[in-house]
Amino acid sequence: MDAVTPPVTVARQGKVGVIAIEFAPVNALSKAVRQGLLDAVRALEADPDVAALVISGGPGRFIAGADIREMSQPPDAPFLPDVVAAIDACAKPVVAAIAGAALGGGCEIALACDLRLGGPKALMGLTETRLGLIPGAGGTQRLPRLVGVAQAIALICEGRVLKAGDALALGLLDEVVEGDLLAEAIARAPGVTKRRLSELPVPAGDDGAEAAIARARKGAKGVPAIDEAIRVIRAVGEAEFATGLALERAAFLALRESAEAKALRHLFFAEREAGKVPGLESVAPRPLEAVAVIGAGTMGAGIAVALADAGFSVTLVERDGVAAAAGLQRVADLYARQVKSGRLTDAQGVERRARVTPTADWASLAAADLVVEAAFEDLAVKADIFRRLDAVAKPGAVLATNTSYLDLDTIAAVTSRPQDVVGLHFFAPANVMKLLEVVRPALAAPDVIATALALAKKMGKQPVVAGNCDGFIGNRIYALYRRHAEVLVEDGASPQEVDAALEAYGFAMGIFAVSDMSGLDIAYAMRKRRAAARDPAERYVAIADRLVEQGRLGRKTGAGWYAYDAVGDKSADPVVEALIAESRAEKAIVPRSFTPEQIQRRLLAVMANEGAKALAEGIALRASDIDLAFVHGYGFPRTRGGPMWAADQMGLRAVVTEVEAAHAAGGAGSEPAPLLLALARDGRSFADWRKA
């Protein structure tokens, strides 16, 4: 047994050989783990004193999946299919003792065992499609033999993670053991008979497969892995097990190199890195128990729900009793919607809603460890609120604002404790959108930022830390993106063409449809506020202003960039076409045409260029944070990896050429970023850039 390598150990318990994996933090299937497992299975199979095998990941664990870093390198033996094949072929029974996550490759190992015992915290799932892959070690061939083709398509295409009870109900687990899982597995192993899923017939009847396929394709949006998964899973009905395995492996290896899988891997690492902020490594967050929200409008109500969902009791403060009652009604409506859609049970809805207490009494803020202000976007209103907050909040309370654009340093300066002030920029709808921009004013204490990051984690949000500037990371870049979409329209594209190009790129909705949905009045008010400060050398497209001035505020008024019918379906509107034509005529613009690709490249380049400026100024810590902001807050397609990643794939020299064209069209404010020019000149990329 000397051949077994370190992260995997073997111990004998009577006639049972126990294979234990110990590879922190989650027993990922690195090369050393694969090698250790293979050696251990072979050694125990050959040992005449061993009657049965148990595979254990230790307390609270099993095997959480592939080692994703290795996926960007050439495949290296032993391969996971070799390990799985050795377990499947083993003449002695093998029991999986699943105390924690058995996901991806970990689930495939479990499926090759003859008995799967789970602890109450077990998690099972073939989650590879989330990374743009399909299972590559038999998962697509064994799972349908266990649960049927329709169920396997649903589980694999959705990348669903099953808790112990659900895994038991579907048969992925044979039993859930409440007591000592490993002891039970060892006691049972010698009596287990071999039951190879690879030898089971495919369950008869394909009931529901077509419906499962239709559902999976609907959610697929640009993920080629979904079609591949469907194709390979369906092969179980037609081909021998070995043939199916070969099909699966070939598809897996091809997908591994796909642009989509690379982008999704990039985001996987970006998501883990975003919470790491230089200088905060050993800073402890402040304790958070009581939380409060000021302002119970669209955002305040959504934030209160998101906080209640995370387990907090929330005090929701409004201007007066009537507004407080209206705020509670918004909260109740948000929960009613979740109950109606089946996401929550009635009882859960009632219980969570009861966590939110509306009030007009500012004295109730004295108990809060954290206050999130979400009142009107107006500096005078916010300054007044922060002054009053300063007077009532307890020492050490974190004072946050959800402002979209306003200067955090000015807000902090009205208090006697600017070190406690931070931006917590949630996105609408705040209980759904994952992005939380944590905006760092100049004087913010490190533990306030650490507290914001800890809060994001507790709320299941994706934090991105931003410096204080107009629009922070997201809205700053979005403003340029929108400006150039309007320039394209004035120069000859129609709003429908721009939206169609963006939707073809992978956005769920084009930018003009999004503007109509959010309401055109907000950006209008902002443009008016800033009119005096605008650089006269910036090209100003006034079409959106004219829409607003005609009362076309978007969906809520039945018209904006589009016309909307009674059921909310949109169509091009001759009134808008006339406004656009007028605007072109005033500037003597001869409209030209743009292909979808030209529109996509122009807008992508503009975003990356503004992103480069934010990076150079230290507003964003890393390019991947900008990618996360757009993927989680602005509907940028995940399979494109975010604007900075996509710009790298386009090649920064080509991006510069596009930015130069955008500058020529857009004037001041659209100059090429020096950082972009330098990276392009040196043949480098945003991904490998770090601030000196």
The residues that touch ligand NAD, with contacts defined as CB under 6 A, are 294-300, 317-319, 323, 374-377, 381, 385, 402-404, 426-428
670 as an active site residue: the answer is: no
Is 160 or 434 the residue whose CB approaches ligand NAD more closely? 434
Cβ 296 to ligand NAD, closest distance in Å? 5
Three-class SS state of 396: coil
649 is written with which tokens?
A: 């794939």
At its nearest, how many Å lie between ligand NAD and the CB of residue 393?
14
How many Cβ atoms are within 10 Å of 618's Cβ, its own excluded? 11
Alpha helices in 509-622, H assignment, sequence order: 511-518, 520-530, 543-549, 574-586, 596-616
Contact 54, 21 (CB under 8 A): no
Nearer to ligand NAD, 426 or 594 (CB): 426
Q: Do residues 42 and 8 touch, judged by C-beta distance below 8 A?
A: no
632 is catalytic: no
Residue closer to ligand NAD, measured from CB, 68 or 323: 323
Of 375 and 422, nearer to ligand NAD (C-beta) is 375
Instruction: Please identify which of the residues 248, 271, 318, 437 carries the catalytic annotation.
Output: 437
Dihedral sign, Cα of residue 156, residue 162, residue 165, residue 166:
negative
Determine contact, residues 8/1, Cβ cutoff 8 Å.
no
Q: Pick the closer one to ligand NAD by CB: 385 or 445.
A: 385
**Residue entry with tokens 């190879």:** 196
- Residue 448, CA atoms < 13 Å, CB-side half-sphere: 26
Taking the complex as a whole, the smallest distance from the CB of residue 274 to ligand NAD amounts, in Å, to: 19
Query: CA–CA separation, 258 vs 128, rounded Å?
Result: 14
Q: How far is the CB of 7 from ligand NAD (least distance, A)?
A: 45
Give the integer Cα–Cα distance in Å for 466 and 620.
5
Q: From CA 65, how far away is CA 84, in angstroms rounded? A: 13
User: Active-site residue among 56, 198, 402, 404?
Assistant: 404
Q: Verify whether residue 437 is a known catalytic residue.
A: yes
**475 tagged catalytic:** yes
Contacts of 467 (CB under 8 A, 6+ apart): 439, 440, 617, 618, 619, 620
The least CB distance from residue 61 to ligand NAD, in Å, is: 39
Nearest residue (CB) to ligand NAD, 100 versus 300: 300
| Residue closest to ligand NAD, measured at CB | 297
Q: Which entry of 402, 475, 624, 670 is annotated as an active-site residue?
A: 475
Least distance between ligand NAD and beta carbon 427 (Å) = 6
Which residues are within 8 A (CB) of 7 and not within 5 positions of it... i.e. 6 or more apart?
21, 22, 23, 27, 30, 32, 33, 36
Provide the minimum distance between the beta carbon of 384 and ligand NAD in the complex, in angstroms, as a whole number. Answer: 7
Which position among 373, 377, 402, 425 bears the catalytic label?
425
Q: Which is nearer to ligand NAD, 360 or 650 (CB)?
A: 360
Q: How far is the CB of 487 from ligand NAD (least distance, A)?
A: 24
The 3-class secondary structure across 306-326, one letter per residue, is HHHHCCCEEEEECCCHHHHHH
* 135/249 Cα distance (integer angstroms): 8
Which two tokens mark 40? 């251990």
Distance CA 319, CA 162 (A): 44
Residue tagged 């400060």 (tokens): 533
Nearer to ligand NAD, 348 or 364 (CB): 364
Residue type, 638: R
Which residues belong to the active site? 404, 425, 437, 475
